[in-house]
Each structure stands twice: as structure tokens, then as C-alpha cells.
Amino acid sequence: AQSVAQPEDQVNVAEGNPLTVKCTYSVSGNPYLFWYVQYPNRGLQFLLKYITGDNLVKGSYGFEAEFNKSQTSFHLKKPSALVSDSALYFCAVRSPYGGATNKLIFGTGTLLAVQP
Amino acid sequence: EAGVAQSPRYKIIEKRQSVAFWCNPISGHATLYWYQQILGQGPKLLIQFQNNGVVDDSQLPKDRFSAERLKGVDSTLKIQPAKLEDSAVYLCASSLDPSRNQPQHFGDGTRLSIL
């Protein structure tokens, strides 16, 4: 069965510093990986995805993520954090098998707090 | 484009009462999802529709939860009777083509509180 782990409940970073939000996964075959962001009292917004190809994926708002197959990780990164990046971040995985019926499995989320 | 619309935004009911949530997906999106998000957890899929057919309802508590998407557009999720553990945010999402890993677009959810 597929699963996602986000080992940090919260990440604190100063504005202007680089940030990393960690994600590891477990799935049969080559995974499809996603990052979503959730602001207070809002739904999730798609940031980026890895399907195949280049291990470094660029997404919205200056975020990027690096797929590492040997470490089964897909960490989210940004070179310079903004206070407005403060939000809840979810990693999700989908198995390559099963077509459209195969659902996304979400991690428990990591709260990113960027201090001014 | 207009996003996924959900109503109501908030609902407070007593246990054993019934409640219904409504969702209007992005125009043209054939796939519609209902998720339950309990505080401190990630969203959990309850049911997935492809047009008006159910694709996956394996995690839907069918003794109390029901959902329909009669004309392949709007959808309604109902809980009857509600239990205390149903307190959560119910998120609706839609996707153009999940088989091609098109992203899911989420509404702002309905926050349900059970007293």
C-alpha cells in the first residue's frame, strides 16, 4: 500500500533564508508525487508535481522539489522564504498502477512558519 | 476560470441530526472528489466520481454517508445520522483528467461541527 510521511509537524525559518519541507514516500513502482499548500480556512492549492524526467521540479511561487529515488524522498524547497509562504504544506503520492481510479494519498502536513 | 464552489462554509449540528453539503466543480471537469479532513490530518478520500458514476467509495462509511452526482456536474454529500467523530472539514475537488495526473482543484470546504 502506498503511504507518505512528513516527519516534521512544523518548520520555522526566518524570512530571506532557504526553506526545506521534507517528504518521504512508499509506493510500488515509480511514484507520482505532488505538493499542495493550504492557507487558513481555504482549500488545498496545487504547487508542483513529479511524474517523470528531471529530478528537480519547479512549481508555483518560486517553490521547487527534488525527487530522490534512492532515498524515496521528495523534499520541497525555496531559496528565499517569504512571510506570505507561511501555511500548511501537504505532500501526496499516487501509484502509477490503476489509472484514474488510483487515489492520491496525502501526508499529515507540515506547518511552515516564516518569521519576519 | 471559476473555481470549485462549496456551500455552506460552516455548519453546526447536534449528533444524530442530518446534514448535506453541496459542490459545483470547475466547468468541464469530469472527475469530482469528496474528502474528509480531520484537524491535524491530511485529506482522506471519501468518494470519487467520474461523470455521474462512482469510481471509488471504498472509504465512505456507507451506513451514514451518501453522495450523488446525478447529472455529472453538481454533487451532494449527506451524513445521516451524524456522529461526534464526523466533525471535520469536508473538501470537494475536481480534476480534468486524473489519469494524466492533472492536478486536483479544491474548494474552500465546509467546516462541520457536531455538538
| pLDDT given for residue B86 in this prediction | 97
**pLDDT over 60 (residue A100):** no
CA distance B45 to chain A (A): 8
Provide the pLDDT for residue B97.
Answer: 85
Are B99 and A109 in contact (CB < 8 Å)?
no
Residue A23 identity (one-letter amino acid): C
Note the Cα B99 to chain centre separation in Å.
20
- Which residue in B23, B104, B110 has the most chain A C-beta atoms within 10 A of its own C-beta, making it the best mutation to test that interface? B104
Contacts of B111 in chain A (CB under 8 A): 41
Q: Which three cell numbers stand for residue B111?
A: 467546516
The mean of the pLDDT values for chain B is: 94
B88: phi then psi, degrees, rounded to nearest 5: -175, 175
* Beta-strand pair A10-14/A110-115: parallel
Assess whether pLDDT exceeds 80 at residue B51.
Answer: yes
User: Is the pLDDT at B45 greater than 60, yes or no?
Assistant: yes
Write out pLDDT tens, residues A26-78: 988 888 999 999 999 899 999 999 999 899 999 999 999 999 999 999 999 99
pLDDT of A98: 64
Residue A6 pLDDT > 90: yes
DSSP string over A84-102: GG-EEEEEEEE-SSSGGGP
Residue showing cell 481510479: A101
Assign A44 to helix, strand or coil: strand
Q: What is the model's pLDDT at position B78? A: 98
Question: What pLDDT, in 10s, does the model give residues B78-104?
Answer: 999 999 999 999 999 999 988 888 899
pLDDT, position B30: 92
pLDDT tens string A16-27: 999 999 999 998
* pLDDT at B25 > cutoff 90: yes
Tell me phi and psi for residue A31, to 5 degrees: -80, 160
Residue B56 CB-half CA count within 13 A = 17
- How close does chain B come to A67, measured CA to CA in Å? 16
Cell of A87: 501555511
Q: What pLDDT does residue A29 have? A: 84
- Residue A99 — pLDDT band, cuts 50, 70, 90? low
Q: How far is B61 from chain A (nearest CA, A)?
A: 17
DSSP state, B37? E
A90–B99 C-beta distance less than 8 A = no
What are the chain A neighbours of B98 within 8 Å (beta carbons)? 100
Q: Which residues in A lie closer than 8 A to residue B97 (C-beta atoms)? A: 100
B79–chain A nearest CA distance, Å: 21
pLDDT at residue A97, as a whole number: 75
Q: Using pLDDT thresholds of 50, 70 and 90, give the confidence band for residue A101.
A: low
pLDDT band at residue A103 using 50, 70 and 90 as cut-offs: confident
